[in-house]
């Protein structure tokens, strides 16, 4: 991707944010004059009044990148339409988009649109929400807590699918969705704040308790019961930066089933590079992160990864992806020291014997084995079809060879980080699909 295109997109995004900021400041002044702001403040005092939910009409929308840039209220230019009572957000076509310490943002789509259903929509929930949104809903965190504590914990198994990226996690998510009995959410951005969970774990303070409360109640609203009420489990494909939140989530939901899906590091690196050829936001890491441990760690920290794991100085494109794999896997192994029942799944095992691997996964997650035949139907379609990450798109780009200077750098990196030679098969500790 040409740098000039990246600079143009960044300039457009800066212009969009500037216009959005000016508009929102003027809009707030108008709301103060018309009583809208007063109603919003009142909702924080009494969550159960009839004006707890602000319904906003979307006038325009823009994202720097549809897939990798975090979801934000700033993705939309909106105007006030009306207020609704708090239970309004429990409808099936309304889903959590962004959560922070002050407010929660929901996306409302047309009735019947299930943005989590990867059989129809984008495998990335944020992207499906952004495309299909017709209204934006805002509530305060006071309202979020009140509603979530009323509906309680998810009414079914809670499965946390962590992954090392480009390892078949989208396919596995789609397999769960194909059962029609399991709701599987593909990297919901409302959980992005969990990338900071490690800062709170083990710290006794009011901030820690509030963070835990926010995490628990966000998952409760994400996994709210559908109106049909026939789901038996909820699978959350957690975005990679939130891997470190697993100990906290298991503490909050002791019966949750965390999983870690991985693939051969060289294959992952080759796939990430191809992805960077299609997504300029990923390409930025190659353009600006190579040759500097400081810059690479800061860039990874910007998107939510713990900087301490990514202080790696790498000079080759292939090594960039391999280094990412090592850092993330090392973080998983650290989590295993705290979360004892946190098994790993190997992509190559799933591909080699899908039915057997699914049986192992379903048994571990307490899911009915009779759902496996329906799950296997997902193999008949590209789980990322219609996106910039579809197979027919990525296969147009070159496959980085594992040879020469890049191979030597990968081997040195593996030795320095305590991993075996990348060319050798490596079975991660606690892998349950390998026999």
8 A C-beta contact, residue 231 and residue 181: yes
Sign, CA torsion 202/205/208/212: positive
Residues 368, 402, single domain; the answer is yes
pLDDT band at 200 (very low <50, low <70, confident <90, very high): low
Residues 141, 169, single domain; the answer is no
Residues 4, 73, single domain; the answer is yes
Residues 142, 160, single domain; the answer is no
Residues 135, 168, single domain; the answer is no
For the chain, what percent of residues have pLDDT higher than 70?
97
Residues 222, 86, single domain; the answer is no
Domain CATH for 316:
3.40.50.300
Choosing from 131, 151, 171, the residue where a domain stops is 151
Distances (CA, A) of 341 to 176, 395, 433: 21, 37, 15
Pick the more confident residue, 244 or 7: 244
Q: List the single range of 16-25, 101-110, 391-400 with lowest mean pLDDT.
A: 391-400
pLDDT at 209: 85
Is the pLDDT at 202 greater than 60, yes or no? no
Highest mean pLDDT among 122-126, 133-137, 382-386: 133-137
| DSSP state at residue 225 | P
Residues 6+ apart with CB under 8 A from 296: 285, 289, 290, 310, 311, 312, 313, 314, 320
Residues 175, 282, single domain; the answer is yes
8 A C-beta contact, residue 158 and residue 186: no
Choosing from 99, 121, 151, the residue where a domain stops is 151
Q: Which of 340, 345, 378, 339 is nearest to 359 (CA)?
A: 345
Other C-beta atoms lying within 10 Å of the C-beta of residue 144: 24
Q: And the tokens for 238?
A: 């957690």
pLDDT tens, 171-183? 999 999 999 999 9
Residues 318, 425, single domain; the answer is yes
For residues 83 and 81, give the distance between their C-alpha atoms in angstroms, rounded to a whole number: 7
For residues 100 and 73, give the distance between their C-alpha atoms in angstroms, rounded to a whole number: 11
Residues 273, 419, single domain; the answer is yes
Residues 110, 191, single domain; the answer is no
Choosing from 151, 182, 212, the residue where a domain stops is 151
Domain span at residue 40 reads 1-151
Is the pLDDT at 191 greater than 60, yes or no? yes
Q: List the single range of 136-145, 279-288, 324-333, 353-362 with lowest mean pLDDT.
A: 279-288
Q: List the single range of 14-18, 36-40, 203-207 with lowest mean pLDDT.
A: 203-207
pLDDT band at 206 (very low <50, low <70, confident <90, very high): low
Residues 79, 185, single domain; the answer is no
- The count of domains in the chain is 2
8 A C-beta contact, residue 347 and residue 261: yes
Q: Which of 57, 45, 107 is nearest to 82 (CA)?
A: 57
Full-model pTM: 0.93
Residues 108, 211, single domain; the answer is no
Residues 6+ apart with CB under 8 A from 287: 3, 6
């Amino acid at each position: 991707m040409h740098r000039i295109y990246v600079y143009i997109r960044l300039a457009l995004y800066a212009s969009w944010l500037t216009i959005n900021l000016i508009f929102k400041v003027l809009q707030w002044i108008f709301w103060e004059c018309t009583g809208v702001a007063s109603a919003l403040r009142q909702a924080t005092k009494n969550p159960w009044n009839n004006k707890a939910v602000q319904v906003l009409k979307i006038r325009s929308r823009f994202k720097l990148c549809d897939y990798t840039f975090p979801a934000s209220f700033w993705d939309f230019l909106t105007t006030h339409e009306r207020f609704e009572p708090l239970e309004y957000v429990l409808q099936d076509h309304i889903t959590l988009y962004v959560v922070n310490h002050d407010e929660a943002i929901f996306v409302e789509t047309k009735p019947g649109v299930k943005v989590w259903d990867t059989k129809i929509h984008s495998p990335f929930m944020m992207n499906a929400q952004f495309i299909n949104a017709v209204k934006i809903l805002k509530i305060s965190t006071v309202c979020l807590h009140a509603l979530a504590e009323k509906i309680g914990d998810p009414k079914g198994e809670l499965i946390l699918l962590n992954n090392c990226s480009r390892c078949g996690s989208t396919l596995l998510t789609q397999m769960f969705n194909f059962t029609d009995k399991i709701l599987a959410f593909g990297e919901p951005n409302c959980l992005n704040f969990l990338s900071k969970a490690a800062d709170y774990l083990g710290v006794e303070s009011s901030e820690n308790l509030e963070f835990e409360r926010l995490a628990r109640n966000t998952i409760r609203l994400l996994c709210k019961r559908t109106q049909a009420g026939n789901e038996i489990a909820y699978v959350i494909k957690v975005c990679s930066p939130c891997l470190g939140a697993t100990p906290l989530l298991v503490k909050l939901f002791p019966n949750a089933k965390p999983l870690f899906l991985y693939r051969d590091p060289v294959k992952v690196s080759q796939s990430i590079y191809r992805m960077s050829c299609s997504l300029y936001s990923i390409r930025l890491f190659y353009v600006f992160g190579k040759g500097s441990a400081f810059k690479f760690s800061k860039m990874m920290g910007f998107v939510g990864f713990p900087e301490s794991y990514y202080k790696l100085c790498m000079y080759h494109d292939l090594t960039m992806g391999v280094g990412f794999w090592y850092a993330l896997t090392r973080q998983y192994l650290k989590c295993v020291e705290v979360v004892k029942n946190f098994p790993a799944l190997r992509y190559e095992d799933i591909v080699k014997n899908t039915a057997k691997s699914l049986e192992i996964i379903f048994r571990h997650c307490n899911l009915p084995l009779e759902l496996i035949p329906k799950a296997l139907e997902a193999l008949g379609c590209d789980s990322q079809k219609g996106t910039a990450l579809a197979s027919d798109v990525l296969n147009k780009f070159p496959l980085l060879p594992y040879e020469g200077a890049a191979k030597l750098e990968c081997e040195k990196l593996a030795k320095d980080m305590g991993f075996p030679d990348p060319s050798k098969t490596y079975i991660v500790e606690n892998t349950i699909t390998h026999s």
